Amino acid sequence: MIEPDSHRFDTRALHAGQRPDPVTGSRAVPIHQTTSFVFDSVDHASGLFNLEISGHLYSRISNPTVAVLEERIASLEGGVGGVCTSSGQAAFHLALATILGAGDHVVASRNIYGGSHNMLNLTMPRFGITTTFVDPRDPQAFAEAIRPETRLVFAETLGNPGIEVLDIAAVADVAHGAGLPLAVDSTFATPYLIRPIEHGADIVIHSVTKFLGGHGVAIGGIVVDGGRFDWAADGKFPTLSEPYDGYHGITFTEEFGPAALSMRARAEGLRDFGGCMSPANAFYLLQGVETLPVRMARHVENTLRVIDMLDGHDAVSWISHPAHPSHPDHDLAKRLYPKGAGAILSFGVHGGRDAGRKFIEAVDLASHLANVGDAKTLVIHPGSTTHQQMSAEDLAAAGIGEELVRLSVGLEDPDDICDDLSRALRASQR
Amino acid sequence: MKFQVDDLTVNAATGAVSIERDEVADAPLVVLLHGAGMDRTVWSQQTRWLAHHDTRALAVDLPGHGGSEGPAITSIGELAAWTARLAEALGGPVHLVGHSMGAFIALEAAAATPDRIASVVLMGVGAAMPVHPDLQTAADADDPLAAALMAGWMHGPDQRFGLNPTPGMSMTGTSRAVIEACPPGVLGPDLAACAAYGGAVDAATVLTCPVTIILGTLDRMTPRKAAQPLLDAMPSATIVELPDSGHAPMMEEPGAVRRVLGDHLGRLAA
Ligand SMILES: Cc1ncc(COP(=O)(O)O)c(C=O)c1O
């Protein structure tokens, strides 16, 4: 059987969305450091403002450097398009604000990034949008939480903090059965490890800040539009299927079909909320995306080495990563993540909060900070930092034991990472 | 908008403005016809622009496609006859803009029912449209491979790199999603109808209305040279060759296609 004519993944990581600049011959993506773009004529200007024609007019709405990153990640995910934002949080907000309105309801995994949990649990209710949180390992729980006013199902492909592996197809079936889209945050996985749209997800959100950017130098986010969901099927999504006064009565599904969500997110969401990505950040993040395949392969390889070392260490009480046989999703991860289930893991240090603190004080190579997905190995002990005010009971309820250490495995020589961790583990027991 | 042809609902994008406004009552009716397995949205870079530039533009969904009621019509001759009835339902001769299968329909309709068709603009067209057997097999089986194959071939080779004139969008990704959204059992017969149609040169020989043909230099589905017999049969046609376009110039060089449409309609008004 013949194959579709397209470049393969690793090639697209380097090339998708860009051709050498025809005017200057510039091979690298130029940084279009400009706020605005000149119009050819009054007609051209009015056509752009009225969505009659497409093109760049003002960098809050679109910018050529940012557009390369958008098209590149959309291509890697197999989507129809993407809208980049100033941060991963802004991407999540943009997706919510484009689809939902007051009175709408979300069913979300309860094991998600704390910032996303705050947004759904504390902030969105002020705007009339409420959320029911469910166990991501139980597709039936999503089904049972769906109400007549539910408009979105949301989960992380690899969850927080336990690296819960989402059975994307099973949860997509639940969502689609109820006429709802499934949005996933795939930050921990990146399209190198899984392409959720191929498994049935409709929207993919990334904190590009993390592994996609890969070097810890710039904050950014993206909403990737899968383009498969029928927003017009039953009138549940009026922002997309009803006339919008903001552009003289345009109906996004009618004019743009599979691109309806991305077009509305840009034309309304970036226009009104303004959470755009800067061209300079897009450039930094593009440098990371170019090497995503080689970096992620090494991140995963190093992670397996670290798991091996921790497994044999006396000071370690447990390890949570899908590659470890003790992980509840070990088999599911083998099926969905043949290249590995990411480079973030947590483990328990014997001796609880105190030992956790000593461990963190003793690491030397690993950086103690609140981020993941850097080229460098990062480590944090929530019990003594981000979650220090919480009691042992509250921590346990959040799935974060006092003894939990979270690790984002970097690209250093794996022997050096293991030496550092194992020395710090010994120190934690003194 | 929705209206009826043969007692079946037809859906058309009109650029979000009504074609029934008084100020456009005498403006030309422009009907845009999509290709096999696609729908009205392939014209999103032209429909709304036309609608705001002194025309009554309708990018229709062919029967059984997009938002139009089925069943799909399975031969170019019958689709052309349907187009003539559509022109009648709209109340006037129409200018047809056709892409690929839509170009065959426009050609055949203009030849068979000259009183209904004021002019035609064709793109992604040749004297014949052979379909790769693997594509036909995949389409007949409603295998998503068919959409991926078409999305790969319908754009010029540069679209493997991308750089879509619409910021942030993937052209091949969008084309694939449009074709994947085609209802089951429709793409296969569409492609078979294209492959079976042998009347293009005959139609071109007899038609009398003004014709503009847009040729994509990089077209791999109906290569530039496959159009030559058509061009030879229509010596008075206006020919525009777009160097950066493959089989879908309305997406690949949307601005150039808008200019050609404007020039075409402008010549007729003059
Ligand atoms: C899974 C996940 N989603 C979203 C975010 C938010 O991204 P950003 O920090 O770019 O706003 C983070 C950040 O830690 C994250 O880990």
Give the tens place of pLDDT for each residue, A293-306. Answer: 999 999 999 999 99
| Angstrom distance (rounded) from CA B125 to CA B104 | 7
Mean pLDDT throughout B158-169?
A: 93
Cβ of residue A111 lying under 6 Å from some atom of ligand 1: no
Average pLDDT, whole number, for chain B? 96
Mean per-residue pLDDT, B202-211 = 96
Averaged confidence pLDDT in chain A? 96
Interchain CB distance below 8 Å, B173 and A51: no
Task: For residue A213, report the distance from its CA to the centre of ligand 1, in Å.
Answer: 12
**Closest alpha carbon to A287 in A43, A14, A1, A102:** A14
**Could you read off the pLDDT of B121-150 as tens digits, one per residue?**
999 999 999 999 999 999 999 999 999 999
Look at B181 and A257 and tell me if their CB atoms are within 8 Å.
Answer: yes
Nearest atom in ligand 1 to the alpha carbon of residue A371 is 14
Every domain of chain B and the residues it spans: 2-128+197-269
Measured between beta carbons, the chain B residues lying within 8 angstroms of A282 are: none
> CATH for A33-288, among 3.30.479.10, 3.40.50.150, 3.30.2010.10, 3.40.640.10?
3.40.640.10
Q: What residue's CA is closest to ligand 1, atom 14?
A: A371
Residue A275 C-alpha from the chain's centroid: 16
pLDDT given at position A283: 98
A303 lines ligand 1 (CB under 6 A): no
- Say if B4 is an interface residue toward chain A (CB within 8 Å): no
Mean pLDDT of A112-116: 93
Specify the pLDDT at position A367: 96
The residue of chain A with its CA nearest to that of B132 is A2
Q: How many C-beta neighbours within 10 Å does residue B19 have?
A: 20
How far is residue B204's CA from residue B230's CA, in Å, rounded to a whole number?
6
The continuous run of DSSP H or E covering A318 comes out as strand A316-320
pLDDT at A168 over 80: yes
Place of tokens 């309708």: B58
In this prediction, residues B200-226 reach a mean pLDDT of 95
Residue A186 Cβ < 6 Å to ligand 1: no
Residues in chain B with CB shorter than 8 Å from the CB of A32 are none
| A399 touching B (Cβ < 8 Å) | no
B191 confidence band (pLDDT: 50, 70, 90): very high
Tally helices (H) and strands (E) across chain A: 18, 12
Judge if pTM exceeds 0.90.
yes
Q: Exposed, middle or buried: residue B225 (CB in 10 Å: 0-12, 13-18, 19+)?
A: exposed
For the B2-128+197-269 domain, the top CATH level (class) is: alpha beta
Give the pLDDT of residue B73. Answer: 98
Res. A259: pLDDT tops 90: yes
Cα(A210) to centroid(ligand 1), Å: 8
Confidence of residue B85 (pLDDT cuts 50, 70, 90): very high
Residue type, B86: L
The alpha carbon torsion through A381, A385, A390, A392 (nearest 10 deg) reads: 30
Best residue for ligand 1 mutational test, from A89, A204, A345 (most atoms within 8 Å of Cβ): A89
Among A1, A248, A262, the residue with its CB nearest the CB of B16 is: A248
Q: Is the pLDDT of residue A395 over 80?
A: no
- Domains of chain A, by residue range, sit at 33-288, 292-428
User: How far apart are the C-alpha atoms of A285 and A188, rounded to whole Å?
Assistant: 16
Question: Of all atoms in ligand 1, which is nearest to the CA of residue A112?
Answer: 1
pLDDT at A396 over 90: no
For residue B47, which residues of chain A lie inside 8 Å, CB to CB? 255
* CB nearest to A54's CB, from B45, B138, B173: B45
User: Which of A92, A187, A408 to mutate for ligand 1's pocket (most ligand atoms within 8 Å of CB)?
Assistant: A187
Residues paired with A320 in a beta bridge: A346
On chain B, the residues whose CB falls within 8 A of the CB of A7 are 160-161
What is the rounded average pLDDT of the residues A176-205?
A: 98
State the pLDDT confidence band at A321, using cuts at 50, 70 and 90. very high
Interatomic CA distance for residues A230 and B178, integer angstroms: 11
- What pLDDT sits at residue A384? 79
Q: How many C-beta atoms lie closer than 10 Å to residue B232's C-beta?
A: 12
Name the closest-CA residue to atom 8, ligand 1. Answer: A88
Higher per-residue pLDDT: A183 or A396 = A183
Query: Chain A residues with CB inside 8 Å of B17's CB?
Result: 248-249
Q: Is the CB of A94 under 6 A from ligand 1?
A: no
B149 inside 8 A of chain A by CB: yes
> Chain B residue closest to A256 (CA)?
B41
Query: What pLDDT does A382 receive?
Result: 84
Percent share of chain A, pLDDT over 90? 91
Q: Which helix (H) or strand (E) holds A262?
A: helix A260-264
CATH 1.10.3720.10 fits A292-428, yes or no: no
Tell me the per-residue pLDDT of A220-249, one tens digit each, with 9 for 90 and over: 999 999 999 999 999 999 999 999 999 989
pLDDT at B229 over 90: yes
CA-to-CA distance for A249 and A391, rounded, in angstroms? 53
Return the ligand 1 atom nearest residue A90 CA.
Answer: 11
- A36-91 pLDDT, tens digit per residue, is 999 999 999 999 999 999 999 999 999 999 999 999 999 999 999 999 999 999 99
A70 vs B167: CB contact, 8 Å cut-off? yes
The closest CB to that of B174, out of A72, A81, A243, belongs to: A81
Residues 175-234 of chain A with CB under 8 A from chain B are 226-228, 230, 232
What confidence score (pLDDT) does residue A383 get? 79
Nearest to B211 by CA among B267, B147, B162: B267
Q: Predicted confidence band at B161 (pLDDT cuts at 50, 70, 90)?
A: very high
pLDDT at B270: 80
pLDDT at B43: 98
Question: Quick check: CB of A408 below 6 Å from ligand 1?
Answer: no
Instruction: Find the mean pLDDT for residues A400-411.
Output: 93
CB A219 less than 6 A from any atom of ligand 1: yes
